[in-house]
Structure formats: C-alpha cells, structure tokens
C-alpha cells in the first residue's frame, strides 16, 4: 500500500462568555451555507501556531499571539479524496475588532451559544466542538 499524503488544517474556536464565533461558508465549493469556524489548510513552511495566527488575521482581521492559543482537539479524518489532520485551537484573548475580511467566502460572522449550535454546521467541525466541550483531545472521523 502506498504511503499517504496527509492534508493538515487549523481551526479556531474563538470563545467568549459561553459563545463561539461561527462563520457561514459562501461561494467556496465546500459546505456553502453551512457554519464553521475560522480555518484553513497549512500553506507549508509554517508551524500550526503561525498558521492559526495568520488565518485569524486574514479571515477575521484580529491579531492573536501564539501564547494565547491552546490546542484543544486534534482530529484524524478521512474524506472521499484524502486523509486529513485537523488542529483545533481555542483563544480567549485577541487584539482588534472581529471583521469579515473575506465576504467573497463568508456571508455571515456571528456569535452563538456554544451549547446551541445551528443545525447546518459543517459536520466534522460540529463534532470537534462537541469533543472540545467534553474534554476529548483526539478523535478519528469518517472511517
């Protein structure tokens, strides 16, 4: 069996007063109309902390430092086309005002109760949030 190439991505759980920031995907070709969190594949040549800080700035216009990031979940996931490892971070402190910096990919940013997520969540992201709430640090999904 050939060695697999794994796609890796970072995801940010911005949490404040039992609320989590969600974005609704738009015009991306994947999960459009569904809610997710700030996220992106790693570009390469950067560690997961740097990638997460970069994405927070690119998608929401906020600055976060690596010291304020905590890895709260890791998911090994199988899709139709590949295998992935997703790193989920939480952050409770940032600088700047949250702004939709990519309206061509996201048509809504909103705070929702972490215990009252919408039904139209990207499936694995909803699972990761549930695992985070339950203190589960690692999971497999889609196998």
Q: For 24-28, what is the mean pLDDT?
A: 93
- Please check whether residue 67 lies inside any domain of the structure: yes
Please tell me which residue, 5 or 25, carries the higher pLDDT value. 25
- Please check whether residue 37 lies inside any domain of the structure: yes
Residue 141: partners with Cβ closer than 8 Å, 6 or more residues away: 75, 76, 77, 78, 124, 127
pLDDT digits (tens, 9 = 90+) for 76-127: 999 988 999 999 999 989 999 999 999 999 999 999 999 999 999 999 999 9
Residue 92: partners with Cβ closer than 8 Å, 6 or more residues away: 15, 16, 68
Looking up residue 113, the CATH number of its domain turns out to be 3.90.79.10
Domain ranges, residue 85? 6-141
Q: What's the rounded Cα separation, in Å, for the pair 23 and 108?
A: 5
pLDDT on residue 53? 96
- Please check whether residue 32 lies inside any domain of the structure: yes
- Please check whether residue 1 lies inside any domain of the structure: no
Number of domains in the chain: 1
Please tell me which residue, 134 or 44, carries the higher pLDDT value. 134
What is this structure's pTM?
Answer: 0.94
- Please check whether residue 45 lies inside any domain of the structure: yes
Residue 130: partners with Cβ closer than 8 Å, 6 or more residues away: none
């Amino acid at each position: 069996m050939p060695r697999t190439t794994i796609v890796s991505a970072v995801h940010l759980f911005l949490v404040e007063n039992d609320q989590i920031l969600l974005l609704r995907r738009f015009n991306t070709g994947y999960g459009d109309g569904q809610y997710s969190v700030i996220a992106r594949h790693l570009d390469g040549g950067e560690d997961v902390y740097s990638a997460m800080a970069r994405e927070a700035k690119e998608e929401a216009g906020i600055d976060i430092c690596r010291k304020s990031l905590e890895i709260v979940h890791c998911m090994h996931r199988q899709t139709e086309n590949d295998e992935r490892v997703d790193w989920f971070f939480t952050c409770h402190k940032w600088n700047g005002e949250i702004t939709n910096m990519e309206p061509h990919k996201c048509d809504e940013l909103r705070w929702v109760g972490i215990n009252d997520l919408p039904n139209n969540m990207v499936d694995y992201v909803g699972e990761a949030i549930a695992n985070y709430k339950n203190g589960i640090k690692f999971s497999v999904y889609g196998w």
